[in-house]
Structure 1
Amino acid sequence: MKKLLNTVCAAALLALSLGAAQAQTYPSKPVKIVVPFGPGGFTDVVARILGVKLSESLGQPVVIENRPGAGSMIGTDQVAKSAPDGHTLLIVSSTHVISPWIYKSVPYDPIKAFVPVTKLVDSPYVLLTNPKVPAKNVQEFIALAKAQPDAIHYASSGNGSAQHLIGGLFASMTKTQLKHVPYRSSNLAATDLVAGVVESSFAGVPNALAQVPNGRLNALAVTSAKRIPQLPNVPTMQEAGVAGFDATIWLALLAPAGTPASIVNRLNSDVAKIMNTPETQKAMFDAGVEVSLSTPAAMSQLMVSEMDKWGKVVKEAGIKLE
């Protein structure tokens, strides 16, 4: 028994010493942050703001790699299978914990395959319409959709994306039939919305800020419970008459499961310092998101609770993909 205890203690001490050694030498090469969405969306914008400052903090280049597709599963699966050494990281949105509810098969466990580093930001979405759409507010939009079932299209950054899910939630709560049109990125969706190829979209705040002030698109409502300072004259869905509507999306930084706690804690500390500087706070505000940080443990708990919450939303909205 004594021999067994000595062996266990020795193994624990070895693991601790290895972790400490890894933390001291980390990072030993460039760090890659995978964004499982196309360029130009708010996930990509946040990643690039963070990447520049994190490179300075870590003393190594930080490369942002866009790997869109399959509702963010392609890029996410790549990171799940990467070496757990802190040199390959992942920025996910709330859709990370929603995929198992809408896809028949997901190649990784969204909880067990990763270790959270920190929550990064919160952001609402905005119901945008092309100016050619005669509806000037949410109630007129709902009336138009009910009068013409499946005639109004809403663009998203892909099947299973947050934009897709929020559109499905809206249709479910308002008892309307909207036609979903998936794109490979939110930028492509916004381009076709401005061109009038599609009539509407539940878009990220950066897309709204790029098109609403110049009159290219109309903003009917934000999806959060409170108005946002970037668009103070745009009502919330609840103010616009859709009672109980509240859908805010978060972004988080994750690492592959098995990444040493010493590295995770180092990253958590560095990111917190970066995100709390006035310069970064302003950049995030201008990008239409609100900095919202967490400990790794708190982020882990949030992912579990959000998985349960959105599972109920998906079932009620009847969203299912192959």
Structure 2
Amino acid sequence: METKVSLKARHIRRLMISFPFLAASVILMQPGAADAAYPDKPIKLLIGFPPGGSTDLIGRLVGERLYRALGQPVVIENQGGANGMVAANAVAAATPDGYTLLLTSMGMTTNPYLYAKSRHPLKDFTSISLLANVPNVIVVNPKLPARNLDELLGLARSSKAPLTSATTGQAAPGHMATELLQRAANVKFSFVPYKGSGPALNDVMAGYVDMSLPTVVAALPAIRSGKVRAIAVTGTARSSLLPDVPTLSEAGLKNLGGSSGWYGLVGPAKMPKEIVERLSQAVVKIMNDSEVRERFKLNGADPVGSNSDEMTAFVAQDFRRWGELVKAANIKGEAQ
């Protein structure tokens, strides 16, 4: 005599034979089947800064190309505030199904040392792909008697008072690069805070401050007009917008590493591996597109594109390096 269990199993097999769509439904319910269908609805891409800035422009370009690659709309949502933490915290708390993503930047690895409410870059997020490096450039007032890095550092060491350096935000890439510079070269600068790169550059041009480290794209008009002098760029390679300006390493400081800002794509922690791979592969193809690369470069960003493991390793290194610097320099976060 058949047991109740075997009778039930035979009954289910008959239903599957009689109703093929039921068998398909059971298959779709198996683990991993939903991942294979990804994406089957719009994806939300959060940006932690207001519309119109370079981060927003980069995010919208990536969103547009992801739509072409994945076949689903990518809805851009600007959630500005708290140095990008509002958007980052929203993504960290989202369901890890690949439908809520974040265009992130260097603040992801500095904010945890500056603000208690910031999420951990390695524990609370899934790295998907690096998008680009964003180099900064040392610029000085043309009347300053320094035409290269050696002369600038020599002047800094011999001056009775420290050279002044305009910064645009506490722990912003330019600020952190200047902190690294003075430690690597054993010099001291006097930091002068500004609300943005525009006012900072205006005062460098006017001679009120000696130098600054804005992004290359922000400084480019002033450099080309001769109103400021470019000394060296951060990062591991020369900027395509300033091919004649050496890197800090080429100029003699080989122990700084890639001290640029950057852009990357992340999602909540514990995203399915298949979805992460689908997204990272799409991003790598996007970043290899000649039109995309040119548009990135026009925004002062050097295209990269990477897999998840490569970005995870990069974020871990960046997180460790900036943490050491924040503690050593006693850098405090701005009031939120």
For the criterion TM > 0.5, the same-fold answer is yes
Q: Which has the higher contact order (CA 8 A, sep 6+)?
A: 1
| 1:180-211 Cα deviation digits (max 9, x unpaired) | 34455555655665566654321222223343
Task: Please tell me the residue identity of whatever aligns with 1:138.
Answer: L
Aligned partner of 1:175 among 179, 186, 196 = 186
Percent identity at matched positions?
A: 29
Larger Rg: 2
1:142 alignment partner, SS class = helix
Where does residue 3 of structure 1 map in the other structure? Answer: none
Contact 2:46 2:91 in 1 (8 A): no
46, 51, 54: which one pairs with 2:66? 54
For residues 186 and 214 of structure 1, the distance between their equivalents in structure 2, rounded to whole angstroms, comes to: 17
Contact 2:166 2:191 (C-alpha < 8 Å) held by counterparts: yes
Question: Take 2:208 and 2:57, find their aligned partners in 1: how far apart are those partners?
Answer: 25
How many positions carry a matched residue from both structures? 305
Comparing 28-37 with 210-219, greater Cα deviation is found at 28-37
How far apart, in 1, do the equivalents of 2:43 and 2:199 lie?
A: 30
Q: Which moved more, 1:196-205 or 1:159-168?
A: 196-205
- What is the CA-CA distance between 1:127 and the residue it aligns to? 0.7
2:133–2:303: 8 Å Cα contact kept in structure 1? yes
Q: 5+ unaligned residues in a row in structure 1: which ranges?
A: 1-12
Q: Per-residue deviation at 1:144?
A: 4.2
Uncovered stretches (5+) of structure 2, i.e. residues with no partner: 1-25
d(CA) in 1 for partners of 2:236 and 2:281? 30
Is 1:113 aligned with 2:121? no
TM-score by length of 1: 0.78
Specify which of 297, 304, 318 is matched with residue 306 of structure 1.
318
Aligned CA distance change for structure 1 residues 29 and 38 (closer, same or farther; 3 Å): closer
1:24-63 matched pairs, under 5 angstroms:
24=37, 26=39, 28-29=41-42, 31-36=44-49, 39-41=52-54, 43-57=55-69, 58-63=71-76
Paired residue type of 1:62: V
**Alignment of structure 1 residues 1-322 onto 2, 5 Å:** 17=30, 20-21=33-34, 24=37, 26=39, 28-29=41-42, 31-36=44-49, 39-41=52-54, 43-57=55-69, 58-63=71-76, 65=78, 67-70=80-83, 72-100=84-112, 102-103=113-114, 105-131=116-142, 133-146=144-157, 147-150=159-162, 152-156=164-168, 158-183=169-194, 185-186=196-197, 189-190=200-201, 193=204, 198-246=209-257, 247-316=259-328, 318-322=329-333
Q: TM-score, normalised by structure 2?
A: 0.75
Provide the C-alpha distance between the structure 2 equivalents of 1:29 and 1:50, rounded to a whole number of angstroms: 14
The one-letter amino acid of 1:311's match is G
In structure 2, what is the Cα distance between the partners aligned to 1:20 and 1:182?
53
